[in-house]
Structure 1
Amino acid sequence: MRVKTAAKINLALDVTGKLPNGYHSLESVFQTVGLYDEVDIELTNSGIELSCEVPEMFADSDPIPCDERNIAYKAAKLFFEENSMDCGCRIHIKKGIPSQAGMGGGSTDAAAVLYCLGRMTGKNVSAPEKLGADVPFFLTGGTAYVEGIGEKITPIADYSGRILVIAKGKEGVSTAEAYRNIDSLTAPAHPETHKLVEAINSAPDTAYRYFGNLFEQAVKLPEVDDIKSNMLKYRARRAVMTGSGSAVFGLFIDPAQAVRCVDKLREKDYFAITCETVLESFIII
């Protein structure tokens, strides 16, 4: 079985506290977008084999482990163990989503493995969040208000079909370092996540006013600032970093302006694409 599996952006992302176990509590609005990895999975008699196809522009700055450390491998292992199955599988991942970008590239691959194995065997896993906080979201996709460490997911109104430019520079962001920086912020300006949810549900054309990301105050990357500046120059309604970085998305009304923005960002040697917000994580191919 082969699927395209979507990336996500955070239309808003706020850190609301630190839990006794060291995790941080979040408030966010997650949105799947039309930027995809391809995951090909085949059942075998035993063992888990994983291969990866990584574009050169990703491989240089974002090494992706292609062994048992990969979250897609861990997803297959969890699936077989939890269902007491003695078979195995071959997994091939063709990367289209940059890593260290705040777009859930690893988590969406893990979700795709669970989805495919579930479709192929009629079984599932009870707690996909064991693999990572973003994995449960990708099993549903669309637009959702997310709380806790990412495990509390409430679907909200459909926000698909919006035109985006997504871009990323060479710099990556360590999630651990980003959270350490969050902890040291004094009097940060928090995104208005609840107002964003209200706007998406009742007045979606105004929702962009409430896009925001607390991590922009904690992660200072010149490339992020430059990408945002270029997006706004080409008439993006709003430009915001996603996740703990370092990808940036801009919301556009005019598709032609979005294309011109992508061309300009690519001239500056950034990864850049135009796509849309989408309703579902998986496309069977």
Structure 2
Amino acid sequence: MRAVTRTAPAKINLGLDITGTRADGYHLLETVFQAVSIADTVTVALTESPEITLTCDVPAVPCSPKNIAWKAAQRYREAAGLQSGVQIQILKRIPMEAGMGGGSTDGAAVLLALQELTGNALPQEKLLEIAVSLGADVPFFLYGGTAYGAGIGEKLEPLPLFSTDCLVIAKGTAGVSTAQAYGAIDALQNPKHPPVQQLRKALEAGGTAAEIAPLCGNLFELAVELEEVQQIRSTMLEQGALCSVMTGSGAAVFGLFPNRESAESACAVLWKQVPFAEVCHTL
């Protein structure tokens, strides 16, 4: 039984705004995605028995059709006409309910692994169509790097890679339900929107961390009121972060630091406050 193992990186949103709602209820977003080195490991194999099976080393992860990785396998099988079953194993390192795309990146990893196992049974357009059907973050994870995203996440435009190894990501014990977060966004009255287009232009011009930091922002910070998020942001800024911003719909927070030493120092302080804090780099 041949298996393919893929690294499934997390993401942060350097900038994230909600610009409206489609007639079908989907929210329209504008964002700058950035892949980071914190990652899950996903192993996929084709089996003779027709079932989809999923295992994960973290008990809280649903190993059922509710999981995006499971859905990815099912939709790929249907689109490609595969008769074989799919076995998926996930080693989880990305925090859950963090806004870091942990479920979405696993789903994208399954799609890419199945492409490799089947010798590209599906054209790229069909693979992207499946990715869009799985969730707003999944299309980005087919490509990674630094990218501008619009629509419901399916309109992607690669940007020059933003390279830094002075990035800290931290998360407290509380998580945020995506559905609850979007509901809170809908209730905001005349919010101040983050300058995503300015951020995009700064990255296109090869902006440094110091240049893009003032442009990083997330509309969800106004909607998600978690004391832990505010505490993490305050600690990062006190420790010298150029900026500190919640990612996705929460509840993880990233900080851009001017050098590796200050990033590691901040991470050491955060470890005393929250269960997850890590210095990482962009991909």
Structure 2 CA distance for aligned equivalents of residues 23 and 203 of structure 1: 32
TM-score normalized with structure 2 length: 0.93
What's the CA shift for 1:175? 1.2
Larger deviation, residues 218-227 vs 158-167: 158-167
The 8 Å contact of residues 231 and 261 in structure 1, kept in 2 or not, is answered as: yes
SS in 1 for 2:189: coil
Of residues 212, 216, 220, the one that matches 1:215 is 220
Of residues 147, 150, 158, the one that matches 1:147 is 150
Per-residue CA deviation, residues 165-191 of structure 1 (Å, 9 max, x unaligned), is: 000001111111111111111121100
2:52 matched residue in structure 1: 48
Pairing 1:268–2:266 present: no
Of residues 251, 254, 269, the one that matches 1:249 is 254
Larger deviation, residues 91-100 vs 158-167: 158-167
Structure 1 CA distance for aligned equivalents of residues 190 and 227 of structure 2: 23
The 8 Å contact of residues 133 and 151 in structure 1, kept in 2 or not, is answered as: yes
2:61 matched residue in structure 1: 64
Structure 2 CA distance for aligned equivalents of residues 2 and 89 of structure 1: 13
What's the CA shift for 1:84? 0.6
1:39 matched residue in structure 2: 42
1:124 matched residue in structure 2: 122
SS in 2 for 1:154: strand
Per-residue CA deviation, residues 15-57 of structure 1 (Å, 9 max, x unaligned), is: 1111111111111001101110010111111211100012xxx
The 8 Å contact of residues 168 and 254 in structure 2, kept in 1 or not, is answered as: yes
- Name structure 2 gaps, 5 residues minimum: none
- Within a 5 Å distance, the mapping from 1:79-98 to structure 2 comes to 79-98=76-95
User: AA paired with 1:241?
Assistant: M
Structure 1 CA distance for aligned equivalents of residues 30 and 275 of structure 2: 29
What's the CA shift for 1:270? 2.8
Structure 2 CA distance for aligned equivalents of residues 156 and 164 of structure 1: 19
Q: Which has the higher contact order (CA 8 A, sep 6+)?
A: 1
Structure 1 CA distance for aligned equivalents of residues 237 and 204 of structure 2: 26
Q: Percent identity?
A: 49
TM-score normalized with structure 1 length: 0.92
Give the RMSD, CA atoms, in angstroms.
1.1
Structure 2 CA distance for aligned equivalents of residues 9 and 268 of structure 1: 21
How many residues align? The count is 271
What's the CA shift for 1:150? 0.6
User: AA paired with 1:182?
Assistant: I
SS in 2 for 1:236: coil
User: AA paired with 1:98?
Assistant: P
- Name structure 1 gaps, 5 residues minimum: 279-285
User: AA paired with 1:124?
Assistant: L
The 8 Å contact of residues 55 and 63 in structure 2, kept in 1 or not, is answered as: yes
1:19 matched residue in structure 2: 22
